[in-house]
Homo-oligomer: A and B are copies of this chain.
Amino acid sequence: MARELQHGATIWDVARKAGVSITTVSHSLNGKGNISEATRERVRAVASEMGYVADAMARGLRSSKMNAIGLVFRSLDSLGNYGPNGVDVFMKLAGAAAAETLNRNLGLMLVPDLSRGPLPPFSMSLDGYIVFAPHLDDPVVALLEKRGIPYVTWDRDPGRPDFRNWVAHDDAASTRVVLNHLAAAGAGSIAYVGGTDRNAWNFDCEAAYVAWCLETGKEPRIYHVPERDGVEGGRQVGARILGDGMPGAVFCLTGRHASGAAQAMQECGVRIPGDLLVCTGSDSEHSRQHKPPISALDVDIPAAAAALVERLCEVMEGKSGSDPVLLVARFLHRKSTSPGKTRNQQKRGF
């Protein structure tokens, strides 16, 4: 149906009905200017009675503010399988960010990968962007940078150490928490399984692992599995690890890899946690539902979303120079790293 017909009342309609000028309407509704309280009230009443809502585009055109921010949806491909890791984290973040932006009366626009294809009409008019896990030399970041659009990132930009508008977990600290926990639980040697995406998470966790090995005098055992290979990739690496000689523990960054690796090894008769401890750097349904449940680092998604949106708002307001925001990952201690637990605890999924 033609929107023209139904298109809501304009500021003119309100002005006419209230018997004032459009300026008065604008000022009344926006709490600006010098308007008598009586008039202000009357205008407000008329406006709300008419269901008047200022046209976002007209307003935006004038103030060059869209009142909406974008959330970049990198690599749609990887979402193709809608696995718990791809979608889970990203989409939960989208939900939490939407809640967060609503509080500030901003819209949240999902923008699937800006770096390929024609730009969606709105993409360059948005007030700011949240970029999820930029990788090395990310073209999306380059585009935003070139156009001077404010943005913050989840995880630091691995190629740009001076860019400081990011929010992330303290990956180095989290990694040490895990490794120390594993060592304390009796793991003599710990194998590490990272992903292949060139993002800060992979880089920093691996670096922390290597540093920790150096400090504790252990021999690093590093494996890489492409994120997209998911559980199956995990199974394969599990087999490889077994082939290379069973370690005391395995730390898989990705939840799906952890689940796959544990699965494959259990099928070979390895008992978890009896023979081997397993832990993941990213909690997901896979780690929660695995038998036994797999210990994991957990992203506090609402906190992350809140921090990202808040920081972005600061940047949009021109504030700069703040430090990056480091969140603490929660460590969820579960059965997979608890040798010697009773049957009862096991049953409760702990």
Residues of A whose CB lies within 8 Å of any CB of B are: 1-8, 51, 53-61, 64-68, 73, 76, 79, 82, 84, 87-88, 90-92, 94-96, 98-99, 102, 105-112, 117-125, 127, 146-150, 267, 285-286, 289-291, 301, 318, 320, 347
Q: How far is the CA of A108 from the CA of B98 in the complex (A)?
A: 12
Question: Which of B8, B64, B94, B286 is within 8 Å of A91, CB to CB?
Answer: B94
Q: Which of B99, B120, B267, B318 contacts A76 (CB 8 A)?
A: B99
Q: Which of B91, B110, B125, B290 contacts A56 (CB 8 A)?
A: B125
Are B87 and A92 in contact, with the CB atoms below 8 A? yes
Contacts of A120 in B (CB 8 A): 67, 102, 105-107
Q: Are A8 and B109 in contact (CB under 8 A)?
A: no
**B118 with A105: CB separation less than 8 A:** yes
The 9 tightest CB contacts between A and B, nearest first, are A6-B148, A289-B289, A91-B91, A285-B285, A57-B60, A98-B110, A56-B125, A67-B121, A102-B112
Cα-based distance from A57 to B60 in the complex (angstroms): 6
Q: Which chain B residue lies CB-closest to A289? A: B289
Q: Provide the residues of chain B in CB contact with A105, threshold 8 Å.
A: 118, 120-121
A7 to B65, CA, bound (A): 11
In the complex, which residues of chain B have a beta carbon less than 8 angstroms from the beta carbon of A56?
Answer: 121-122, 124-125
